[in-house]
Amino acid sequence: MSETNPNLAFGVDIGGSGVKGALVDVSKGEQVTERKRIATPQPATPDAVAEVVRQLVEAEGWDGPVGITVPAVVREQVTRTAANIDQTWIGTDVQELFTRHLGGRDITVLNDADAAGMAEARFGDDKARTGAVMMLTFGTGIGSALLMDGNLYPNTELGHLKMKGSSAEKYASSKVREDEGLSYKQWAKRVNKVMQRYVELFNPQTFIVGGGISRKSDKWVPYLDLEQDVVPAQLRNEAGIIGAALAVSEGLRP
């Protein structure tokens, strides 16, 4: 498949356990090929992961633009942090890396929560594109995206806010819920404390909550007690892939 349809771009979401990708129609915010997943190689070095991205893209015979999310800060297309991925990502020029593996084409690499936030603002609930919005993704870590009327301020790392002698994500990520065997109610209490801290500091109008756990939002969102509206992500865990495709099609290069 080639680049003849300007609405098509391939989105890839790199996570700690899986690398997922699909071709996306960015005019509709829909995946047009079945989402494929390859286990994240271990160690998850940049070259090993980029090789898996190449396999996903080639499996669809796609030679057009590719947007890629990473669970890290990406500033000027260089990865600056690596909280839940291999440390060798720090300082990696991701344009150079993915161009080497995917060949010359449009490539954008951005933070995973930023991609999810962009996708929700464009294709999710109306509230996601209205006013000051904080998107949070709960998974291995806690990802964050700040949006004002749908426009992104990239690379906020609110999961690393100091809390309880540690950090917000070490206290209330969805991994912590599993590792400590917390009930949804117990976990929601922790999430509420984290979100209250965010309210004190940022006062968003609306929270969008996503990540894998957004599928089960009815089990924990009702326990949250905040002034703000808390809206479960509409695109569920497809938001990263769709946001990545959207970012590359719009020429965004954080």
Q: Tell me which residues touch ligand BGC (CB under 6 A).
A: 71-73, 81, 83-84, 111-113, 137, 139, 141, 143, 157, 159, 169
Minimum separation from the CB atom of position 32 to ligand BGC (A): 25
Q: In angstroms, give the least distance from the CB of 72 to ligand BGC.
A: 5
**For ligand BGC, the closer CB: 33 or 88:** 88
49: tokens are: 């992961």
DSSP letter at 93 equals: B
Q: Token pair for residue 83?
A: 């909280």
The answer to whether 28 and 35 are in contact (CB under 8 A) is no
E strands present in 71-197: 74-75, 78-79, 107-111, 132-138, 142-148, 151-153, 162-163, 166-167
- For 47, other C-beta atoms within 10 Å of its C-beta total 12
Between 102 and 116, whose beta carbon lies closer to ligand BGC?
116
Give the residue at shortest CB distance from ligand BGC. 141
| Nearest approach, Cβ of residue 110 and ligand BGC (Å) | 10
Provide, rounded to whole angstroms, the least separation between the CB of residue 77 and ligand BGC: 15
* Residue found by looking up tokens 């590792």 in the block: 179
The Cα–Cα gap between 236 and 92 comes to 29
Q: CA distances (Å), 147 to each of 88, 176, 215, 221, in order? A: 30, 27, 22, 21
Q: How far is the CB of 141 from ligand BGC (least distance, A)?
A: 3
Nearer CB in complex with ligand BGC: 137/237: 137
Of the pair 204, 210, the CB lying nearest ligand BGC is at: 210
- In the bound state with ligand BGC, the residue whose beta carbon lies nearer, of 173 and 249, is 173
In the bound state with ligand BGC, the residue whose beta carbon lies nearer, of 14 and 128, is 14
| Choice between 126 and 162, CB closer to ligand BGC | 162
Q: Which of 110, 116, 69, 113 is nearest to 236 (CA)?
A: 116
Task: Kindly state the smallest distance separating residue 7's Cβ from ligand BGC, in Å.
Answer: 27
Min separation Cβ 83 and ligand BGC, Å? 3
User: Is the separation of the CB atoms in 70 and 111 below 8 Å?
Assistant: yes
